[in-house]
Structure 1
């Protein structure tokens, strides 16, 4: 593989590239789905291929292939340079990369149990056991269980001399129960919606989750939602449990601070951002004084935890929001200079060998506060506790949003009281984060994996994580459209 990588770099330089890199990626995936006591699907796939990225005449060029031959390596590298030269005829600005030290290193996701060494039979046995509990109530019409495992081996080599060999592994599992009765349908999921929980660890994730232990509660809550009232509209104090807050962070903090989006690269597809470049200089008040949000690609278990990004930049930790003040963008080597950074924050990643790297979200986490969870409930009498995302909507600038959840409870006497179905809440991003006045501590903090963040044209999927603990926001609009 290293010989093929060097051939690509030599070919690109000989054809006129000032810079070139090649990513050779071998990926393996396994997805298992059980539905209503039967196998819904078992999908296993393996892919291998390479992508060559170059700068020639000051512009980018890229080409890729799944044919791992010397002839194809030379052809693709030559094509990438030709594309760059053609692109330069429409050039508005010369591409310049912030400097990075040359590294030769190997990095592997730390795991205890390789998920690909665990039998499909063992995995199915657990999903069947959960399914049996979920369907013990006749009102549960659809029970779904999921497991997903992924491994990517990547070699990145550059004309600057970098040679980085990485192996990234992730595991995921979860389930949902859908109840139906008298024209009403409600769903509860565990441990989170949209497939459950995902982390960059091995099969120990699945063995360590209380999947079976929570199945009865999930089933009963799905059934209870059928007869629950809708959440009345009005302004209420709101507590978001951590998996819902993770998506709130994703949509109203993560995407708005992607620098390429800020500069307009996503404008035709997914919009721009209200976090314009002047807001960094002006110390924009993104949230209240207790809001501290970091990007951290070094934390154990994060889906965006790696040794190096696809620019060859070492994984980092930095503040996006510090004491409520906006403090930094997600950047790559190409755009880091725009806000005045001397180096990239290491956020450039691609979805496979046949896609160009772009700025992607990382492990973006709200740092824990000081509150005890039970004390927070007791201090929020009459407030609403939202759990488990069901839907979301946010405008083109990432300002106005609405989130729907699977369930919500009114808080009375420090406990969950009235259960509400189809609850939702609305807000404006900086107003919402400035209304934050209480964050639970380390003991309630949890890292949640989101394996399906979409961006770009052609579309790419990225795996990211968000860590947080239950958090309170004051005076939030809730229940719009429910009455």
Structure 2
């Protein structure tokens, strides 16, 4: 199917297609406040004790190329209002894309009716953490260059030049992709908040394929880019951002052309690389790989709704049950492991000023010196773990979906002692250095797992001696994080992330980043994925 068709098959194409040359613009804030007040007043008049209103305009742009051709350009727009209420101690929600005052008032009344009907089934009323209203405030992503304002030809030409660079480097096929998001979000509540936010995200990526004509064997190497909460400046790399090692990566910018050239060379090397011998290895994990392990084995199991069993149908619950947190001594990882939740981190996918319950975002510890110390909680969960306020991690993928607890950025903190990845490798006798994320599997309690990557380098007696193939490592979450024996310092800290983290039924997706520096894990079980068990 190729990169374009494969990605489009999994993308949430929210909204209707619009002409590709539609100019970027925002909707007047005063108009949004006027419409929000209609909903707030209508809900209160029907008996709501609390109401929040989300007016959203969501813009997506997809540009897809294959070798020397532009395969597709798609712009979508979605605009509407979602109204959530509490009545008789129970939630109700309704939404509409009919943005006239009468339709909005009817939708608010419908949300109250749904809440009252739902209340017949509840045994315990919803308990909301208190939240002071902020009045009229705004937050804008601190972008330098709005990617929607960049001419379409310039963006398509960049992707075509990426293909050209990879093909000249020996690749047989190249698919390149650029996905832009702008969420224009307006939140109002009966607590007295009127919050206007402008969120931007960008994801450049590609897949390079190399074929051995003699055997028909082929390998791929995906881009080592990280989707980011940035503007087009993300694709304007600075020399100061370069991190040189086995492959050249960047901290806060991305050189797509250089990555494509390296991908072609490395794909050729992968065709010739030897297959790994199974066994115990010390793993050196690059942030371009480790972010996904953090996401699956730390981010998801610390979601409080999973811990409580409220979220169970989609990818399971969590082994991090409340008794482990209450003990204040559950050794999740080694003392080096400090993991924070943070929705304020500039340039990250999850960065906003306020969440979708109108709570100012924040940063807090999840794992401190290896010990589980907290979870991720929103307004109707906070009291369960003794919090006086929400942690500000509620999100909905659109105005038409109800908001619920979603993962903030969850990141492993860098080491405090000066240490580079090269210095870390010098102390490894038998190990594997893994770059980029690949396939993975994890059980329904986020405990037993298996992860692969993009590139694997064998380490012997402190030196990289060549590339490997068919590598995956297996462990369980607690064993793995307790095997963490070294973390590079702040100079190596980088963000990875997921544009489409799925959760809930009906499923919603959210964008979330995970940061780390390169880290070492000792004695991890490595399998050969090409051998039959």
- TM interval, shorter chain, is over 0.9
* Residue of structure 2 in register with 1:184 after alignment: 217
1:44 aligns with 2:90: no
Q: Secondary structure at the residue paired with 1:257?
A: coil
Compute the displacement of 1:197 (Å): 2.0
Give the TM-score normalised by the residue count of structure 1. Answer: 0.97
Q: Which residue of 2 aligns with 1:324?
A: 370
Q: Which residue does the alignment assign to 1:129?
A: 161
Secondary structure at the aligned position of 1:299 is classed as coil
Provide the rounded CA distance (Å) in 1 between the counterparts of 2:530 and 2:283: 17
Contact 2:92–2:112 at 8 Å: present in 1 too?
yes
Does 2:326 match 1:293? no
What do the CA deviations read for 1:376-404 (whole angstroms, capped 9, x no partner)?
Answer: 01011321111111101100000000012
Q: Could you say which residue in structure 1 is the equivalent of 2:457?
A: 409
- Alignment-derived partner of residue 228 in structure 2: 199
For 1:113, the equivalent position in structure 2 comes to 145
* 2:318 pairs with 1:273: yes
Residue in structure 2 matched with residue 374 of structure 1 by the alignment? 422
Contact 1:34 1:41 in 2 (8 A): yes
User: What is the match of residue 442 of structure 1?
Assistant: 490
Matches within 5 A, 1:280-359: 280-283=325-328, 284-359=330-405
Instruction: Name the CA distance, whole Å, in 1 between partners of 2:454 and 2:471.
Output: 7
Tell me the distance in 1 between the aligned counterparts of 2:132 and 2:319.
33
Q: How does 1:63-74 map to 2 (within 5 A)?
A: 63-74=94-105
Query: Is this contact kept in 2: 1:233–1:482, CA < 8 A?
Result: no
Deviates more, 1:94-103 or 1:167-176: 167-176
Q: Report what 1:165 is aligned to.
A: 196
Pick aligned residue for 2:184 from 131, 135, 153: 153
| 1:216 Cα offset (Å) | 2.2
Is 1:144 the equivalent of 2:175?
yes
**Displacement of 1:29 after TM fit?**
1.3
Deviations 1:399-439 (A, max 9, x none): 00001212211113544222112310010001100010100
- Offset of 1:11 from its aligned partner? 0.8
**1:225 matched to which residue of 2?**
270
- Please tell me whether residue 385 in structure 1 is matched to residue 433 in structure 2: yes
Within the candidate set 482, 499, 506, 1:458 is matched to 506
Distance 1:147 1:459 in 2: 24
- Partner-residue secondary structure (3-state), 1:479: strand
Alpha-carbon separation, structure 2, partners of 1:295 and 1:43: 34
Deviation readout 1:73-130 (Å, 9 max, x if unpaired)? 0111111111111111110321011011210211110111111111111112211111
Q: 1:247 aligns with which of 279, 292, 298?
A: 292
Q: Is contact 2:470-2:529 (8 Å) kept?
A: no
Q: Deviations over 1:330-354 (max 9, x none)?
A: 1100001111111111110000101
CA distance in 2: counterparts of 1:359 and 1:3, whole angstroms: 28
CA contact (8 A) 1:233 1:481 kept: no
Name the SS for the 1:365 alignment partner: strand
Report what 2:41 is aligned to: 10
Q: Distance in 2 between matches of 1:211 and 1:467?
A: 20
Q: 8 Å contact 1:172–1:206 — kept in the other structure?
A: no
Q: TM-score, normalised by structure 2?
A: 0.88
The alpha carbon displacement at 1:480 in A equals: 4.4
SS at match of 2:297: helix
Matches of 1:332 and 1:49 in 2, distance apart?
24
Query: Size of the alignment, in residue pairs?
Result: 478
State the distance in 2 between where 1:450 and 1:425 align. 21
CA distance in 2, matches of 1:448, 1:366: 11
Q: What does the per-residue CA deviation read over 1:157-186, in whole Å, with 9 as the maximum and x for residues that have no partner?
A: 111111111111112212220122223221
Q: Residue 469 of structure 1: CA displacement?
A: 0.9
- Residue 393 of structure 1 aligns to a residue whose secondary structure is strand
| 212-221 or 78-87: bigger deviation | 212-221
SS at match of 1:356: coil
**C-alpha displacement of 1:189:** 1.9
Q: Quote how far apart the aligned CAs of 1:224 are.
A: 1.8
Measured in 2, the distance between the counterparts of 1:160 and 1:241 equals 44
CA distance in 2, matches of 1:103, 1:340: 24
Please give the alpha-carbon distance, in whole angstroms, between the structure 2 residues aligned to 1:165 and 1:435.
44
Q: Any conservation in 1 of the 2:80–2:400 contact (CA below 8 Å)? A: yes
Give 1:419-434 correspondences, 5 Å limit.
419-434=467-482
Unpaired runs of 5+ in structure 2?
1-31, 238-253
The structure 2 residue matched to 1:256, chosen from 281, 301, 306, is: 301
CA distance, structure 2, for counterparts of residue 413 and residue 204 of structure 1: 41
SS of residue in 1 equivalent to 2:91: strand
Q: CA deviation at 1:481?
A: 4.2
User: 1:268 Cα shift?
Assistant: 2.1
C-alpha separation between the residues in 2 aligned to 1:231 and 1:81? Answer: 60
